Structure 1
Amino acid sequence: MSKPQSNKRDVSGWLVLDKPYDMTSTQAVGKVRWLFGAKKAGHAGTLDPLATGILPIALGEATKTVPAVQDGQKVYRFTIKWGEQTTTDDAEGEICARSEVRPDAAAITAALPAFTGEILQTPPAFSAIKIDGERAYDLARAGETVVLEPRPVFIEALRLVAHDGATSALEMTCEKGTYVRALARDLAHHLGSCAHVVKLHRAMVGPFGEAQAVTLAELEAAADRDSLLQPVTAGLLLLPEVRLTPDQASAVRNGNPVLLTGPRGPVALEAAWASCAGAAVALGCVEMGRFKPHRVIAG
């Protein structure tokens, strides 16, 4: 008996999803992949189920450019509730500590510089970090003690947006690997209190922001879903672009390096992407004036 033919298709591009509340990132990718009938799909940076906002989902050849998006800056807007710490550092967990201290706006603002720039941050026990091949949150949910080492993260900007005594709203611009829940936990401890995140929204991931975002409802209702896709090149806009001739592009697509000629040809770039006639050709680097492909993107 012959195998049934797959209905999956070769579709490539980025869907900038405005992820709804109470949906995992994996569920969101599965839903988008099903709606497009795509053969391949992935996302550029996990969002917690209780978080909303920008979840860039790559389809087809765009999956090869996911690292370029993940490495970009992120903007989060979040609200923390003072006086209660939870096991998960957000509203999903059980209260594990309480404090009567409610810092005022002036104290919070004065503390923020200590959490700006490069800092050491210990990720939450309930995180996707792997320990001996197991996710930390799986171990934590199983009742095991999870010990994670502090790691350097970079916070570009952190500001207090609103404060009513019981809660505070903040906005943070940061590099990858930064945990909002850990920031809220550590800020509260710094101020002699405790707190947890009750609302979290991601407003930007790399080159993608709210202006490009599409809701699931909009996606489901669209007569032409492909028109909602951003091109593969949209995920590469924060990297230097190297423009190739058709002959050079052909060589690169076969995995060969090419010499970049002309007075403006770069001599060295740690990371770059090559294009030809506006289409992405490959991700790679430039060494001694040669573009060396690392990942070739099908045209």
Structure 2
Amino acid sequence: MARRKKGRDISGWVVVDKPAGMSSTNAVGKVRWAFNANKAGHAGTLDPEATGILAVALGEATKTVPFVTDAQKAYEFTVKFGEATNTDDTEGEVIVTSDTRPSDAEIEAALPAFVGEIMQVPPQFSAVKIDGQRAYAMARAGEEVDIAARPLFVERLEMIARADADHATFEMECGKGGYVRSIARDLGAALGCFGHVLTLRRIWSGPFTLEDAVPLDRINDMARTQELDEVLLPLEVGLADLPECRVSAEGATRLANGNPGTVISSEADFGEMAWASFQGRPVAVGVYRSGELAPTRVFRL
């Protein structure tokens, strides 16, 4: 007999403003405990020292995580010039230095090379798997990790502030799998001065913004209270980038049983991934084809 999961059957999204000094996994664990939820996950890891948007899914919302993970994200980050570290941020050891400092004009001239479809090598200390092992585990063991470059789409990269010669602050919008630390490292190399990330903050992620975010301390203060449920966003918020198909009661029943359901109105094109709703309630996600939705995920709400 399968072990029954402990906790409440509660579903939805919690947008956490993650503090520095905590892993994404630990933050998710605290949210899960606070809500006494039986299931939780997140849509996109933040480095421990990074802050900002960490979208946490509870219950059935975990089935929508891939759609948020694949969405565009935006970051604000500060680069310190003149030093490279082995982690490409302040957590690592300085491995090389330079007295060279770029001008504003030189920085602006270098940025276009990091916009559009680019190839990016993840940091040595990253969660990328090499022969079944995490790169960070190999790097901590003193191994030199050979990580292949990966494609990344960068929508926008702009310098928004220059506090002094040693520092510059940027905003970047990019697709799935982007490493801001790699951008800082490679920009410093391109400018001939080296560089690493000093501070990093995710300012939006797919449909979620800082306006939705709740500080983790506030979640802890409201833990296990009815008041906490008021910060829970509906499951379908995580489906905002997908078109909606409305179905009848019969269609909803068929979808709930894993069968194609008839669509009565649709925003989707043929062959497009979409989500089905009945009376405003999410029923399933699937592929729209000629008046029907073939489900790939079914919500048990």
- TM-score category (smaller protein): over 0.9
Deviations 1:229-285 (CA, angstroms, capped at 9, x unpaired): 0010111111111111111011011011124356x6745143111111111111111
- Aligned residue pair count: 295
Deviations 1:115-163 (CA, angstroms, capped at 9, x unpaired): 1011011111111111222111111111112111111100000100111
SS at match of 1:91: coil
CA contact (8 A) 1:265 1:289 kept: no
CA contact (8 A) 2:243 2:267 kept: no
SS at match of 2:146: coil
Structure 1 partner of 2:44: 45
CA distance in 1, matches of 2:272, 2:5: 40
Structure 1 partner of 2:263: 260
CA distance in 1, matches of 2:185, 2:259: 49
Q: Return 5+ residue gaps in structure 2 as ranges.
A: none
Deviations 1:160-189 (CA, angstroms, capped at 9, x unpaired): 011121100000011011110000111111
* Aligned residue type for 1:245: S
CA contact (8 A) 2:282 2:299 kept: yes
| Counterpart among 287, 291, 294 of residue 292 in structure 1 | 294
| Pair 265,174 (structure 1): closer, same or farther in 2 beyond 3 Å | closer
CA contact (8 A) 1:267 1:289 kept: no
| Pair 265,201 (structure 1): closer, same or farther in 2 beyond 3 Å | closer
SS at match of 2:21: coil
Structure 1 partner of 2:179: 179
Structure 1 partner of 2:140: 141
Query: How far 1:287 moved relative to its partner?
Result: 2.7
CA distance in 1, matches of 2:53, 2:264: 39
SS at match of 1:18: strand
| Pair 84,225 (structure 1): closer, same or farther in 2 beyond 3 Å | same
* Aligned residue type for 1:216: L
CA contact (8 A) 1:236 1:273 kept: yes
Structure 2 length-normalised TM: 0.94
| Counterpart among 219, 238, 242 of residue 239 in structure 1 | 242
Cα RMSD between the aligned structures? 1.6
Structure 2 partner of 1:106: 105
CA contact (8 A) 1:266 1:289 kept: no
Query: How far 1:55 moved relative to its partner?
Result: 0.2
Q: Return 5+ residue gaps in structure 1 as ranges.
A: none
SS at match of 2:272: strand
CA distance in 2, matches of 1:266, 1:16: 27
CA distance in 2, matches of 1:148, 1:189: 18
Deviations 1:42-85 (CA, angstroms, capped at 9, x unpaired): 00000000000000000000000000111111000000100000
